[in-house]
Amino acid sequence: MTPQEKELKKTQKRLKKEAKAKTRVTRKQAKSKKSDHAQSEGTTKRVLREKEIKKNLYNRSNFKATKTKEKIDWKLSFKEFPVKMVKEVSKIKWSGKQNLTNKFVQVIIFMLIFAVVFYLIDWGFQTLFSVMHVI
């Protein structure tokens, strides 16, 4: 954790504590007022203050963390690139000859079966249309 992030967290904690203290004070002030008119005025002021405090507390600028980009050592990464590529290629599981042969045969059989199915469907439509005298 960088010193900037630590400082940001400290300021956020401090702002939260201040906001809680302000809301307590405004609540006590609202309770201590005797007249209804003064009390209603105090509550509207309190509500406005609470909204302002919440707005300041939950403002996105308070939560922004500055990210420092690390410098890339291009010479080192250029030297390490072939090694990384070899490691990635070695992770690939290559199919064996028997496995490839089995899959090839399955595809050929699938194609032959569907060629016969489509031929029979075409032949059926031809006979149907010739019976209906469409063709």
Contact 30, 46 (CB under 8 A): yes
- Which parts of 33-96 fold into alpha helices (H)? 36-57, 60-63, 74-91
| Angle of CA points 76, 78, 83, to nearest 5° | 95
The CB density around residue 33, as the number of other CB atoms within 10 Å, is 14
Which residue pairs, CB below 8 angstroms and at least 24 apart, start in 55-62? 56/15, 56/19, 57/15, 57/16, 57/19, 62/11, 62/12, 62/15
- The reported pLDDT for the residue numbered 98 is 92
CA distance 97 to 37: 92
pLDDT by residue (tens digit) across 51-80?
777 767 666 665 566 667 788 888 888 889
- The reported pLDDT for the residue numbered 125 is 95
Low-confidence ranges of the chain (pLDDT < 50): 39
pTM (2 decimals)?
0.34
- The reported pLDDT for the residue numbered 34 is 54
